Structure 1
Amino acid sequence: MVARFFRVAICHEKLDGSRPRPCLYYQLNQCTGPCAGLVGPEEYRAQVQEARLFLEGRDKDLLARLKERMQEASRHEQFETAAHYRDLVRSVEGLSVRQRFTSVGLEDQDYLAHYREGDNPPREVFQMREGVVASRREFSLEDPQESDEAFTAAYLQQYYASAEGIPQEIYTLTEPAEKDLLEEWLAGRRGGKVRILSPQRGPKLSFLTTVAENARLAFEQSFRGGASQGVQEAEALREALGLEEPPFRVEAFDISNTQGTDSVASMVVWEAGKMRPGQYRHFKIRTVEGADDFASLAEVVGRRYTRQLKEGKELPDLVLIDGGKGQLRAAAEVLGRLDLVTLQVASIAKREEILYLQGRAGEIALEPTSSALHLVQRIRDEAHRFAVTYHRRLRSRRTFTSALLQVPGIGLSRARRLLATFGSVRGVLAASPEALEKQVGKLLADRIRHHLAPPTGGNADP
């Protein structure tokens, strides 16, 4: 955090300007490069003093100093520098709300809140135990189009499926869909009663509001922050995995299918501290029949890096696989055949959240509060979301096309045209008669409505 905010050196280099070029921290805008003489002594001394004020909790003095420097930069038309200080002022003001809360009567409770915007819906979780905020975690979910109620229910299932402890009470801003079923499931996992509550007033609502603000700040950092945002996480991951250098670029893979049908894979990219949706890729599995994750991973990893080598494009610093030892081995064998034995490959096993690194014996178990684990989880969850979203889209298209082909007079080309126009069976049924007739004529439009309309009236047989 200190490096990200104040760009002071946190490495062990001599700060005498003798280094021929700065390290990764400078490239990620986390340091001004005193080791390579890229910043003057007076300017760097001022940076150190500001970092010291921050660490000592002297926010009032720090904010006054930062605002003065922002105004000075603006007067000299150094607008990029002024913008840096403006963002720094906002961050310090947000962090002036203490990150740890102590309270009476809040023991054995979890408080969950989220912030969502567009197609990137991270959910920030603060876990309270014995009156103290013990941990924090961020997730991205599969379908950003869900209602807040469905969104909350899906998140609770995802989070508590792997959580070690489940409290008596869980507080959310939005009451989840199918709350009774969730409470029953949670009670079974806990071995005792669990309540999901959504307070409308009082201190617990105030606490949830604070958690929601932290979720918003997490979103800003993850999806709008500059290149410097991830350097500490990258350094933590380097240390956790024993890598020679912090990974600047990570490419992660996941497989999705339904009982072996419509198998697809996703690849997502984390680079310079941010997810890069414009570089995501999805794959249809071509050579594997049935649900074989090992063979499917081998196929897509081989396809990805065969093409990268052929086109002379950059390779990642780390390949991340969603899975355990078997999936890791499958990916590593393919990379070996491509003579990419020096490319680092790691995997993360579901539920246990255990990491494995190719070439390193044994498992890597990180603390739940580890920033390295948080980074890997975030990338893994995004790969899973992207794979499942693509899989659902393909399955929906196949189901829709199959239903239309049952209508006399509808062939494959017309079914595809209707899919492109209306998107789903529900979309066809919701279309106005004029819109549907414009596509296929009145006769076929009547047939489609007759065949696709759900049955009405009557009772099911006992």
Structure 2
Amino acid sequence: MHCTLPLTPKTIEQGKYKVCLEYHLKNCMGPCQGLQTLEEYDESIEQIRSILKRNFGSVVFYLKKKMNEYAANMEFEKAQEFKEKINALDTFQSRSTIVNPNLSNLDVYGFAETDSLAFISYFRIASGSIVQAKSFEIKKVLDESKEEIILTTIIQTSELEENKNIELILPFPIELPFTQVKVTVPLMGDKKKLIDLSTKNALYAKQERVNQNLTSEEKNPSFRIMRTLKQDLKLQDIPRHIECFDNSNFQGTNAVSSIVVFRDAKPSKKDYRFFNVKTVVGPDDFATMEEAVYRRYKRMTEEGNPLPNLIIIDGGKGQLSSAVNSLKKLDIYGKVPIIGIAKRLEEIYFPEDELPLYINKKSESLKLIQKLRDEAHRFGITAHRNKRSKNFTTSELESIKGVGPKTIEMLLTHFKSIKKLREAKEEEIVAIVGVAKTKIVLAHLQQSEQ
């Protein structure tokens, strides 16, 4: 913006001028109409000088002071404007980082790559300041090494022939045709910080390019987690549909096997199921797992439902082998991936592989597996407790002489538990099973309490 108006206190006071478009674009504060005082104008110029001198501290202090003043006066919109200026200044400051003033005449190159592209971030350091910064995206040629790519970029960007004193800061060693040029691959200190910053910029450019090629679905955090799980477990497909099994019993009684289902890395509770064990007697965790897996996928195959992309078994090699036996009986072994997770060290076991896989404890994929395992355990415990409570209630009512299965079913359907039956009024029980049966039930309950 270039304003050529001859502004003086007299011309401003006489109202000779009107604000122009620049004022409405917020590029000018409108001193021509007296909307900005001379003191405010001088203060703005002083802040501009401070920015040019890279004295950001005083500018941030000034902006925060103005922001707090407007906020105290309940002028929140103006306070927000100053907050945005502070954020913009922080961004500018991070992009023009001041390094050690003793460092000068340096060319810094950061490097990152994908299968088909290379990304190079270039900094020029002069008098301790980053005076030039560029990013390059280079399409790889067949069999072109990273050393060749960065050498080509150096020849194109660095003034090696004109300035023999340039020092190159690189992430890895290369052979240069200019023997007089110093090449440094720093391991520590300020130069290492520079190469780390440049490499970070190159990685950021790489990620930006990757994100541009992603669909809206692939940008979803859940999809990222599933993609990581696919890579960690070496799966062929993205595990959108995952099922996890767990067993629960109490001293071998009331055994229950539970299954939880996750779709797109989120619980699908309407698909949760639990199995009352039918063919296993006593505390046999392996046989219980084999029965549950067999019944689950026998029904799915008979009904033509799609199999999951991954099956997770809560347990080690024994439980996993039992589950694999069921898949083999159904002739679907190898058609769906299956793993087991052992609780102690969070080891991941694969069928026919003696050595477990250890996934990084901070990995999102391991956290997803743990979430499935814990959810299956929670659901299984809940189903087991409900079954145990129901069996206890049923067995107590069955011991009452003169009360048959139909009466027991009516009482349990209405009162749900012995506790609620004890607390119920006589009239309420009469309404369910009649006077005669009510007297028999109440007599038994009173006798059992005594």
Give the TM-score, by structure 2 length.
0.49
Determine which structure has greater relative contact order: mean sequence separation of CA pairs < 8 Å that are 6+ residues apart, divided by chain length: 1
Task: Tell which structure's C-alpha radius of gyration is larger.
Answer: 2
Give the TM-score, by structure 1 length.
0.48
